[in-house]
Amino acid sequence: MADLFERMGKGNDKQQDAYAAIKELDILNKLSPYNPVLCGTVPIGIDVMDSDLDIIMEVQGLKYFEEMLQFLYKDKDNFSIKRTTIRGMSKLL
């Protein structure tokens, strides 16, 4: 995943913007215990205008994880967390 992330820094405009935001927020380092993986069309360069970037992680203790995300990023523009259930499993979006 590190190679894919580094390639984003030299990719198209959306990839470079995503790369810069991830670096600025230090997401891959701060969330490394959860093995973050970049997903979707942006990392592989086939994104369209409304594409977004997903970061998936494996989390045990969703309540603690949600509190940690709130602590780290609550002051950032457009930050939001939504809790939902998909196929019987709790998820944070």
The answer to whether residue 1 scores a pLDDT higher than 90 is no
For range 53-78, the mean pLDDT:
94
Q: Residue 69 is encoded by which pair of tokens?
A: 């995300």
Q: Residue 58 is encoded by which pair of tokens?
A: 């494996």
Question: Containing H/E element for 54?
Answer: strand 54-56
Phi, psi of 61 (to 5 degrees): 85, 65
pLDDT in tens, 17-31: 999 999 999 999 999
Burial class (CB in 10 A: 0-12, 13-18, 19+), 82: exposed
Distance separating alpha carbons of residues 31 and 59, to the nearest angstrom: 10
